[in-house]
Amino acid sequence: MKAQVIQAFGNPSVFQIQEIPAPEVIPGHVLIEVKATSVNPIDTKVRSGFVKGVAPDFPAVLHGDVAGIVRAVGEGVTKFQVGDEVYGCAGGFKGMAGGALAEYMLADADLLAYKPKNLTMEEAAALPLVAITAWEAMFTRGNLTSGQNILIHAAAGGVGHVAIQLAKWAGATVYTTASSKEKLEIGRRLGADVTINYLEESVQEYLQKYTNGKGFEIVFDTVGGENLDRSFEAAAPLGTVLAIAARSTHDLTLLHSKGLTLHVIFMLLKMLEKEMRKEYGQILEKVTNIVEEGKLRPLLDSNIFTFDEISKAHEHLESGKAIGKVVLVNKW
Protein backbone atom coordinates (compact mmCIF):
# COMPACT_ATOMS: atom_id res chain seq x y z
CA MET A 1 0.00 0.00 0.00
CA LYS A 2 0.97 3.65 -0.39
CA ALA A 3 1.97 5.59 2.71
CA GLN A 4 3.58 8.88 3.72
CA VAL A 5 6.60 7.74 5.71
CA ILE A 6 9.30 9.52 7.71
CA GLN A 7 12.75 7.98 8.20
CA ALA A 8 14.06 10.78 10.42
CA PHE A 9 12.75 13.79 12.33
CA GLY A 10 12.74 17.05 10.46
CA ASN A 11 10.81 19.83 8.77
CA PRO A 12 7.61 19.22 6.76
CA SER A 13 9.63 18.10 3.69
CA VAL A 14 10.76 14.97 5.56
CA PHE A 15 7.71 12.99 4.39
CA GLN A 16 8.26 10.47 1.55
CA ILE A 17 5.63 8.51 -0.34
CA GLN A 18 6.57 4.82 -0.13
CA GLU A 19 5.09 1.45 -0.99
CA ILE A 20 4.96 -0.56 2.25
CA PRO A 21 3.22 -3.84 3.20
CA ALA A 22 -0.42 -3.39 4.21
CA PRO A 23 -0.82 -4.37 7.86
CA GLU A 24 -2.52 -7.67 8.74
CA VAL A 25 -5.32 -7.53 11.25
CA ILE A 26 -4.48 -8.71 14.79
CA PRO A 27 -6.68 -9.57 17.79
CA GLY A 28 -8.61 -6.66 19.28
CA HIS A 29 -7.93 -4.53 16.20
CA VAL A 30 -9.61 -3.66 12.92
CA LEU A 31 -8.09 -2.78 9.55
CA ILE A 32 -9.41 0.55 8.29
CA GLU A 33 -9.39 1.72 4.70
CA VAL A 34 -8.35 5.31 5.41
CA LYS A 35 -10.56 7.97 3.82
CA ALA A 36 -9.32 11.06 5.67
CA THR A 37 -7.05 12.27 8.46
CA SER A 38 -6.34 15.62 10.09
CA VAL A 39 -3.26 17.39 11.43
CA ASN A 40 -2.96 18.07 15.13
CA PRO A 41 -0.12 20.09 16.69
CA ILE A 42 1.16 16.89 18.33
CA ASP A 43 1.65 15.34 14.82
CA THR A 44 3.92 18.21 13.83
CA LYS A 45 5.84 17.89 17.11
CA VAL A 46 6.34 14.16 16.52
CA ARG A 47 7.53 14.86 12.98
CA SER A 48 10.00 17.56 14.08
CA GLY A 49 11.39 15.44 16.92
CA PHE A 50 10.19 17.85 19.62
CA VAL A 51 8.39 15.03 21.48
CA LYS A 52 10.63 12.02 20.81
CA GLY A 53 9.22 10.22 23.84
CA VAL A 54 5.91 9.57 22.09
CA ALA A 55 7.24 9.12 18.52
CA PRO A 56 6.95 5.76 16.74
CA ASP A 57 10.03 3.90 15.51
CA PHE A 58 11.35 4.59 11.98
CA PRO A 59 10.23 4.05 9.31
CA ALA A 60 7.17 5.74 10.77
CA VAL A 61 3.66 6.40 9.52
CA LEU A 62 2.31 9.39 11.44
CA HIS A 63 -1.11 10.87 12.33
CA GLY A 64 -3.62 9.69 14.90
CA ASP A 65 -6.94 11.03 13.59
CA VAL A 66 -8.65 8.79 11.06
CA ALA A 67 -12.01 8.28 9.39
CA GLY A 68 -12.60 5.33 7.12
CA ILE A 69 -14.21 1.98 6.44
CA VAL A 70 -13.57 -1.28 8.32
CA ARG A 71 -12.11 -3.84 5.87
CA ALA A 72 -11.07 -6.61 8.31
CA VAL A 73 -11.99 -7.42 11.90
CA GLY A 74 -9.57 -9.05 14.37
CA GLU A 75 -10.31 -11.82 16.83
CA GLY A 76 -12.29 -10.70 19.84
CA VAL A 77 -13.74 -7.56 18.25
CA THR A 78 -17.53 -7.62 18.53
CA LYS A 79 -18.26 -3.92 18.19
CA PHE A 80 -17.51 -3.53 14.48
CA GLN A 81 -18.12 -5.40 11.23
CA VAL A 82 -16.58 -5.21 7.79
CA GLY A 83 -18.08 -2.23 5.99
CA ASP A 84 -18.71 -0.10 9.10
CA GLU A 85 -17.76 3.56 8.84
CA VAL A 86 -15.63 4.46 11.86
CA TYR A 87 -13.47 7.23 13.24
CA GLY A 88 -10.99 7.66 16.07
CA CYS A 89 -7.57 8.79 17.15
CA ALA A 90 -5.82 5.48 16.94
CA GLY A 91 -2.17 5.41 15.84
CA GLY A 92 0.94 7.21 14.71
CA PHE A 93 2.55 7.24 18.15
CA LYS A 94 4.96 5.13 20.15
CA GLY A 95 4.15 1.44 20.35
CA MET A 96 0.98 1.75 18.28
CA ALA A 97 0.12 -0.30 15.20
CA GLY A 98 0.48 2.45 12.60
CA GLY A 99 -0.57 5.92 11.59
CA ALA A 100 -3.35 7.25 9.37
CA LEU A 101 -1.15 8.60 6.55
CA ALA A 102 -1.54 5.41 4.52
CA GLU A 103 -4.11 3.54 2.46
CA TYR A 104 -4.83 1.22 5.39
CA MET A 105 -4.48 1.65 9.14
CA LEU A 106 -4.49 -1.04 11.80
CA ALA A 107 -6.31 0.34 14.84
CA ASP A 108 -7.26 -0.86 18.33
CA ALA A 109 -11.06 -1.24 18.26
CA ASP A 110 -11.23 0.24 21.78
CA LEU A 111 -10.21 3.61 20.34
CA LEU A 112 -12.91 3.73 17.66
CA ALA A 113 -16.58 4.62 17.35
CA TYR A 114 -19.12 4.74 14.54
CA LYS A 115 -18.65 7.81 12.40
CA PRO A 116 -21.51 10.28 12.87
CA LYS A 117 -23.93 9.71 9.98
CA ASN A 118 -24.34 13.41 9.28
CA LEU A 119 -20.62 14.06 8.75
CA THR A 120 -18.45 13.48 5.70
CA MET A 121 -15.26 11.45 6.14
CA GLU A 122 -13.21 14.69 6.10
CA GLU A 123 -15.39 16.22 8.79
CA ALA A 124 -15.25 13.08 10.93
CA ALA A 125 -11.44 12.91 10.68
CA ALA A 126 -11.25 16.43 12.11
CA LEU A 127 -12.86 15.52 15.41
CA PRO A 128 -11.33 12.64 17.41
CA LEU A 129 -8.23 14.11 19.07
CA VAL A 130 -9.73 17.54 19.71
CA ALA A 131 -13.12 16.26 20.87
CA ILE A 132 -11.57 13.71 23.24
CA THR A 133 -9.19 16.38 24.56
CA ALA A 134 -12.01 18.87 25.15
CA TRP A 135 -14.16 16.19 26.77
CA GLU A 136 -11.42 14.93 29.04
CA ALA A 137 -10.48 18.47 30.06
CA MET A 138 -13.95 19.85 30.73
CA PHE A 139 -15.84 16.78 31.94
CA THR A 140 -13.47 14.00 33.11
CA ARG A 141 -11.07 16.40 34.83
CA GLY A 142 -12.81 19.78 35.19
CA ASN A 143 -16.28 18.52 36.17
CA LEU A 144 -17.96 21.29 34.19
CA THR A 145 -21.65 21.37 35.05
CA SER A 146 -24.74 23.18 33.87
CA GLY A 147 -24.90 26.78 35.01
CA GLN A 148 -21.15 27.24 35.52
CA ASN A 149 -19.28 29.90 33.64
CA ILE A 150 -16.27 28.96 31.53
CA LEU A 151 -13.77 31.04 29.62
CA ILE A 152 -12.45 29.21 26.55
CA HIS A 153 -9.40 30.68 24.85
CA ALA A 154 -9.01 30.50 21.04
CA ALA A 155 -12.55 30.38 19.67
CA ALA A 156 -11.46 29.21 16.22
CA GLY A 157 -8.71 26.83 17.34
CA GLY A 158 -8.82 23.06 16.94
CA VAL A 159 -9.71 22.31 20.55
CA GLY A 160 -11.31 25.69 21.27
CA HIS A 161 -14.07 25.50 18.66
CA VAL A 162 -15.11 22.02 19.85
CA ALA A 163 -14.89 23.04 23.52
CA ILE A 164 -17.30 25.94 22.95
CA GLN A 165 -19.93 23.60 21.50
CA LEU A 166 -19.48 20.86 24.13
CA ALA A 167 -19.63 23.41 26.96
CA LYS A 168 -22.88 24.83 25.57
CA TRP A 169 -24.22 21.27 25.16
CA ALA A 170 -23.47 20.79 28.90
CA GLY A 171 -25.42 23.92 29.84
CA ALA A 172 -22.51 26.20 30.75
CA THR A 173 -22.31 29.92 30.08
CA VAL A 174 -19.46 30.28 27.59
CA TYR A 175 -17.07 33.20 27.19
CA THR A 176 -14.45 32.91 24.48
CA THR A 177 -11.44 34.89 23.29
CA ALA A 178 -9.82 35.40 19.90
CA SER A 179 -7.76 38.03 18.10
CA SER A 180 -9.97 38.97 15.14
CA LYS A 181 -13.53 39.84 14.22
CA GLU A 182 -13.67 36.81 11.93
CA LYS A 183 -12.66 34.37 14.67
CA LEU A 184 -14.99 35.96 17.22
CA GLU A 185 -17.83 35.64 14.73
CA ILE A 186 -17.01 31.91 14.48
CA GLY A 187 -17.17 31.67 18.29
CA ARG A 188 -20.55 33.38 18.25
CA ARG A 189 -21.93 31.06 15.55
CA LEU A 190 -20.71 28.03 17.55
CA GLY A 191 -22.81 29.19 20.49
CA ALA A 192 -20.54 31.27 22.75
CA ASP A 193 -22.56 33.66 24.92
CA VAL A 194 -19.85 36.32 24.99
CA THR A 195 -16.87 36.86 22.68
CA ILE A 196 -13.81 38.86 23.76
CA ASN A 197 -11.07 40.31 21.58
CA TYR A 198 -8.04 39.83 23.83
CA LEU A 199 -6.02 42.35 21.82
CA GLU A 200 -8.54 45.04 22.66
CA GLU A 201 -9.43 44.18 26.27
CA SER A 202 -7.09 43.24 29.12
CA VAL A 203 -7.94 40.33 31.42
CA GLN A 204 -8.74 42.79 34.22
CA GLU A 205 -11.04 44.74 31.91
CA TYR A 206 -13.07 41.74 30.82
CA LEU A 207 -13.14 40.23 34.31
CA GLN A 208 -14.63 43.50 35.54
CA LYS A 209 -17.10 43.74 32.68
CA TYR A 210 -18.42 40.18 32.76
CA THR A 211 -17.79 38.83 36.28
CA ASN A 212 -17.70 41.92 38.54
CA GLY A 213 -13.99 41.29 38.87
CA LYS A 214 -14.52 37.90 40.44
CA GLY A 215 -13.24 35.71 37.60
CA PHE A 216 -14.40 32.58 35.81
CA GLU A 217 -15.12 29.31 37.59
CA ILE A 218 -13.32 27.39 34.85
CA VAL A 219 -10.78 28.67 32.34
CA PHE A 220 -9.84 26.42 29.43
CA ASP A 221 -6.42 27.39 28.12
CA THR A 222 -5.99 25.83 24.67
CA VAL A 223 -3.06 28.10 23.83
CA GLY A 224 -0.25 27.81 26.40
CA GLY A 225 2.84 29.98 26.82
CA GLU A 226 2.12 33.45 28.15
CA ASN A 227 -1.57 32.84 27.73
CA LEU A 228 -1.40 30.46 30.69
CA ASP A 229 -0.53 33.43 32.92
CA ARG A 230 -3.60 35.21 31.60
CA SER A 231 -5.64 32.10 32.42
CA PHE A 232 -4.37 32.10 36.02
CA GLU A 233 -5.38 35.77 36.17
CA ALA A 234 -8.86 35.10 34.75
CA ALA A 235 -9.78 32.29 37.15
CA ALA A 236 -12.04 32.99 40.13
CA PRO A 237 -10.87 32.14 43.67
CA LEU A 238 -11.10 28.35 44.15
CA GLY A 239 -11.53 28.05 40.39
CA THR A 240 -10.04 25.65 37.88
CA VAL A 241 -7.65 26.14 34.96
CA LEU A 242 -7.55 23.46 32.26
CA ALA A 243 -4.42 23.48 30.12
CA ILE A 244 -3.34 21.42 27.13
CA ALA A 245 0.02 23.15 26.58
CA ALA A 246 2.16 23.66 29.67
CA ARG A 247 5.76 22.92 28.68
CA SER A 248 6.81 26.31 30.03
CA THR A 249 7.80 28.16 33.20
CA HIS A 250 5.31 30.15 35.25
CA ASP A 251 4.95 32.13 38.46
CA LEU A 252 2.38 30.20 40.50
CA THR A 253 1.62 32.98 43.00
CA LEU A 254 -1.92 33.47 41.67
CA LEU A 255 -2.56 29.72 41.98
CA HIS A 256 -1.62 30.08 45.64
CA SER A 257 -3.49 33.27 46.51
CA LYS A 258 -6.66 32.06 44.76
CA GLY A 259 -6.34 28.41 45.78
CA LEU A 260 -6.67 27.25 42.17
CA THR A 261 -6.66 23.82 40.59
CA LEU A 262 -4.60 23.31 37.43
CA HIS A 263 -5.37 20.24 35.34
CA VAL A 264 -2.93 19.58 32.51
CA ILE A 265 -4.42 17.33 29.86
CA PHE A 266 -2.08 15.37 27.61
CA MET A 267 -4.47 13.31 25.53
CA LEU A 268 -1.88 10.79 24.35
CA LEU A 269 -1.25 9.31 27.80
CA LYS A 270 -4.42 7.22 27.94
CA MET A 271 -4.21 6.41 24.24
CA LEU A 272 -0.79 4.83 24.74
CA GLU A 273 -2.00 2.63 27.61
CA LYS A 274 -3.92 -0.43 26.46
CA GLU A 275 -5.98 -0.56 29.69
CA MET A 276 -7.15 3.04 29.38
CA ARG A 277 -8.06 3.17 25.69
CA LYS A 278 -11.63 2.07 26.15
CA GLU A 279 -12.35 5.38 27.87
CA TYR A 280 -11.57 7.23 24.64
CA GLY A 281 -13.73 4.98 22.49
CA GLN A 282 -16.58 5.58 24.94
CA ILE A 283 -16.10 9.35 24.81
CA LEU A 284 -16.20 9.18 21.01
CA GLU A 285 -19.48 7.25 21.13
CA LYS A 286 -20.98 10.12 23.12
CA VAL A 287 -19.47 12.61 20.69
CA THR A 288 -21.12 10.74 17.79
CA ASN A 289 -24.50 11.10 19.51
CA ILE A 290 -23.99 14.81 20.15
CA VAL A 291 -22.96 15.37 16.53
CA GLU A 292 -26.00 13.45 15.29
CA GLU A 293 -28.25 15.56 17.57
CA GLY A 294 -26.87 18.59 15.70
CA LYS A 295 -25.10 20.04 18.75
CA LEU A 296 -21.53 19.70 17.52
CA ARG A 297 -19.86 20.24 14.16
CA PRO A 298 -16.18 20.42 13.32
CA LEU A 299 -14.83 23.59 11.80
CA LEU A 300 -12.64 22.81 8.79
CA ASP A 301 -9.99 25.14 7.50
CA SER A 302 -10.85 26.24 3.95
CA ASN A 303 -7.78 24.43 2.60
CA ILE A 304 -8.41 20.70 2.24
CA PHE A 305 -5.24 18.78 1.35
CA THR A 306 -4.66 15.39 -0.28
CA PHE A 307 -2.27 12.81 1.20
CA ASP A 308 0.23 13.81 -1.52
CA GLU A 309 0.22 17.31 -0.01
CA ILE A 310 1.13 16.34 3.57
CA SER A 311 4.11 18.72 3.67
CA LYS A 312 1.90 21.67 2.78
CA ALA A 313 -0.68 20.60 5.34
CA HIS A 314 1.93 20.57 8.13
CA GLU A 315 3.32 23.90 6.95
CA HIS A 316 -0.16 25.39 7.00
CA LEU A 317 -0.84 24.27 10.57
CA GLU A 318 2.57 25.45 11.73
CA SER A 319 2.06 28.85 10.08
CA GLY A 320 -0.59 29.59 12.72
CA LYS A 321 -2.91 30.79 9.95
CA ALA A 322 -5.27 27.82 9.92
CA ILE A 323 -8.81 28.39 11.15
CA GLY A 324 -10.29 25.25 12.65
CA LYS A 325 -8.87 21.88 11.66
CA VAL A 326 -6.49 21.13 8.78
CA VAL A 327 -7.83 18.02 7.05
CA LEU A 328 -6.37 15.66 4.45
CA VAL A 329 -8.41 13.45 2.15
CA ASN A 330 -7.07 10.22 0.67
CA LYS A 331 -7.20 10.36 -3.15
CA TRP A 332 -4.84 7.41 -3.64
The contact set with its own copies (CB under 8 A) reads 53, 141, 228, 237-238, 243, 245-253, 255-266, 269-270
Nearer to its own copies, 136 or 301 (CB): 136
Query: In the complex, what is the shortest distance from the CB of residue 265 to its own copies, in angstroms, rounded to a whole number?
Result: 6
Residues 289, 290, 295, 299, Cα dihedral to 10°: -100
Nearer to its own copies, 111 or 119 (CB): 111
Query: In the complex, what is the shortest distance from the CB of residue 212 to its own copies, in angstroms, rounded to a whole number?
Result: 15
Query: In the complex, what is the shortest distance from the CB of residue 323 to its own copies, in angstroms, rounded to a whole number?
Result: 25
Residues contacting 157, CB < 8 A, separation 6+ = 222, 223, 324
Query: In the complex, what is the shortest distance from the CB of residue 228 to its own copies, in angstroms, rounded to a whole number?
Result: 8
SS3 272: coil
Quote the CA–CA distance of 43 and 303 in Å, as a whole number. Answer: 18
Query: In the complex, what is the shortest distance from the CB of residue 249 to its own copies, in angstroms, rounded to a whole number?
Result: 5
SS3 324: coil
Quote the CA–CA distance of 105 and 155 in Å, as a whole number. Answer: 32
Q: Which amino acid is at 315?
A: E
Q: Answer yes or no: are the C-beta atoms of 252 and 228 closer than 8 Å.
A: no
Nearer to its own copies, 47 or 270 (CB): 270
Q: Answer yes or no: are the C-beta atoms of 137 and 220 closer than 8 Å.
A: yes
Quote the CA–CA distance of 149 and 220 in Å, as a whole number. Answer: 11
